[in-house]
């Protein structure tokens, strides 16, 4: 088997951020106006205390703050661009990709494929990945894939398999997410959940990997199980049913508590089973980079996997600053909290989300 490396990561962070206090103020003003206009049943206000306690989120980066915080709009305002201009999602991916290529010491001519793996693709076609490929001057092939919050780990396995088979020397995987575009900012249960960001990473043959933070992919394990508890019914058939085209289910909807209960044991078992198959004990892991949806959920999973409370920094959370960034979350945690580890150290990256879908990746630091 050809040894495969995750050899460089990149991050694009939007310039604008919204604190919980700002978000709640806008939401509560919307509630006040709706109730004054006689909304039935009366809407309930949101609270900063609830958001921080229930999720661990304190802030989020967004592509357009003004639209989200305007009680008359409550949605980002992102003008359409002419087809002659790079689309905003591809632009974010290119920025993260340049960072990843620099970290991996790779030039466009070293890369044979691009995968854009994310939850929120802004159009049907041409693939965003082909636009990213064009923007970076990469030859070869490119395609989009969507496995919701697990897109990055599924993309990583797809890339690793293609490199191992000799179908590409190196593949660039990008996870651009404008989650604010599919979030219902008028929904009290979920208006605080998501943020915008883009991550990217390079997958290549380990023996050719020169990056300063290069990790061998010891194994990947993917799982899916159908559930309606996280769902978004937006799609091209919406126009064929105009009577329900703008209903709430055309944005992100979830049964948060049910998701919590289903996913914590499911993902913990996936990780423990994956480690057992690899002949490893959880105690061998120096770090766990989990999907970033909820701090309490991550604490539960880390506790189940390690059999004890995680030490500070052992299962890093970036949720407080970034909120849930869908496919990019675990990659941000890895990007920000992996370079301090030593050659030979083991870590585990794990995504989970809608589908349900989950992916576990065991990594060993090379150099
Ligand atoms: N402000 C104040 N109170 C709120 C509120 C808000 N914004 N939203 C809900 N509440 C209230 C509810 O009305 C409820 O009140 P009640 O007890 O009087 O009925 C109470 O807070 C608890 O609501 P609940 O929805 O059960 O909260 P929770 O503790 O389950 O937390 C989530 C909600 C979404 C943070 C949490 O369930 C979660 O993160 N789940 C996992 C989701 C996930 O991983 N999704 C993957 C997406 S990719």
For residue 236, pLDDT over 90 is answered with yes
Residue 340 pLDDT grade (very low, low, confident, very high; cuts 50, 70, 90): very high
Q: Could you read off the pLDDT of 290-316 as tens digits, one per residue? A: 999 999 999 999 999 999 999 999 999
Shortest-distance Cα residue to atom 39 of ligand 1 = 294
pLDDT of residue 351 exceeding 90: yes
pLDDT digits (tens, 9 = 90+) for 41-98: 999 999 999 999 999 999 999 999 999 999 999 999 999 999 999 999 999 999 999 9
d(CA 160, CA 181): 30
The pLDDT score that the predictor gives to residue 98 is 98
Top mutation candidate among 43, 54, 230 for ligand 1, by most atoms within 8 Å of CB: 54
Rounded Cα distance between 338 and 352, Å, is 20
Mean pLDDT of the region 268-296:
97
d(CA 27, CA 189) in angstroms, rounded, equals 11
Nearest to 19 by CA among 328, 320, 330: 320
**How remote is the CA of residue 308 from the centroid of ligand 1, in Å?**
26
Mean pLDDT of the residues in the chain: 97
Q: Are 230 and 354 in contact (CB under 8 A)?
A: yes
CB 255 within 8 A of CB 229: yes
Per-residue pLDDT averaged across 25-46, rounded? 97
Quick check: 225 pLDDT over 90? yes
Which residues, including other chains, have CB under 8 Å from residue 9's CB and lie 6 or more apart? Answer: 99, 100, 103, 199, 200, 201, 213, 331, 334, 335, 338
**Residue 344 Rama label (left phi>0; alpha psi -120 to 50; beta):** left
- Expressed in angstroms, the distance from the first to the final Cα of the chain is 20
User: Is the pTM value of this prediction over 0.95?
Assistant: yes
Single out the residue of 150, 158, 268, 139 nearest to residue 203, CA to CA.
158
Q: What is the pLDDT at residue 211?
A: 81
Q: Which residues are catalytic?
A: 149
Atom of ligand 1 nearest to the CA of 189: 8
- What is the token pair recorded at 115? 């995968």
**How high is the pLDDT of residue 212?**
85
Where does ligand 1 bind, in terms of residues with CB under 6 Å? Answer: 46-47, 50-51, 54-55, 149, 188-189, 230, 254, 256-257, 259-260, 293-294, 297, 324, 353-354
- The domain spans of the chain are 215-365
Instruction: Specify the pLDDT at position 367.
Output: 87
| Residue of 30, 31, 50, 323 to mutate, ligand 1, most atoms within 8 A of C-beta | 50
**180-216: per-residue pLDDT in tens?**
999 999 999 999 999 999 999 999 999 988 888 999 9
- Residue-wise pLDDT for 108-151, tens only, equals 999 999 999 999 999 999 999 999 999 999 999 999 999 999 99
Question: For 344-348, what is the mean pLDDT?
Answer: 98
Q: What is the DSSP letter of 247?
A: S
Fold exhibited by the domain 215-365 = Peroxisomal Thiolase; Chain A, domain 1 (3.40.47)
pLDDT band of residue 273 (cuts 50, 70, 90) is: very high
- Distance between Cα 32 and ligand 1 center (Å): 21
- Which atom of ligand 1 lies closest to the CA of 353? 48
Is the pLDDT reported for residue 347 higher than 90? yes
């Amino acid at each position: 088997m050809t040894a495969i490396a995750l050899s460089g990561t990149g991050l694009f962070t939007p310039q604008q951020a919204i604190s919980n206090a700002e978000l709640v103020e806008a939401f509560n003003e919307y509630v006040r106006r709706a109730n004054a206009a006689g909304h039935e049943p009366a809407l309930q206000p949101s609270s900063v205390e609830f958001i921080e306690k229930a999720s661990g989120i304190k802030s989020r980066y967004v592509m357009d703050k003004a639209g989200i915080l305007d009680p008359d709009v409550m949605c980002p305002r992102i003008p359409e661009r002419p087809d002659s201009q790079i689309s905003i999602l591809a632009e974010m991916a290119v920025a993260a990709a340049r960072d990843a290529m620099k970290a991996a010491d790779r030039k466009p001519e070293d890369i044979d494929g691009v995968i854009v793996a994310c939850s929120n693709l802004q159009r049907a076609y041409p693939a965003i990945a082909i636009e990213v490929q064009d923007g970076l001057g990469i030859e070869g092939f490119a395609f989009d894939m969507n496995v919701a919050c697990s897109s990055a780990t599924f993309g990583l396995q797809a890339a690793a398999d293609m490199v191992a088979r000799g179908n590409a020397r190196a593949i660039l995987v990008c996870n651009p997410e404008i989650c604010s575009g599919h979030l219902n900012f008028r929904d009290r249960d979920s208006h605080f959940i998501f943020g915008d960001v883009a991550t990217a990473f390079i997958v290549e043959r380990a023996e050719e990997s020169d990056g300063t933070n290069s990790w061998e992919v010891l194994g990947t394990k993917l799982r899916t199980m159908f559930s309606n508890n996280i769902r978004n019914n937006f799609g091209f058939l919406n126009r064929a049913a105009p009577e329900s085209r703008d209903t709430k289910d055309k944005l992100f909807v979830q049964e948060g508590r049910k998701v919590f209960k289903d996913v914590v044991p499911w993902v913990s078992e996936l990780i423990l089973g994956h480690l057992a198959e690899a002949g490893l004990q959880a105690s061998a892991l120096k770090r766990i980079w989990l999907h970033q949806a909820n701090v309490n959920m991550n604490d539960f999973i880390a506790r189940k996997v390690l059999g004890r409370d995680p030490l500070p920094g052992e299962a890093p959370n970036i949720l407080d600053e970034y909120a849930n960034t869908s496919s990019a979350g675990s990659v941000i945690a890895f990007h920000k909290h992996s370079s301090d580890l030593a050659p030979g150290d083991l870590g585990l990256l794990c995504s989970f989300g809608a589908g349900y879908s989950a992916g576990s990746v065991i990594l060993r630091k090379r150099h």
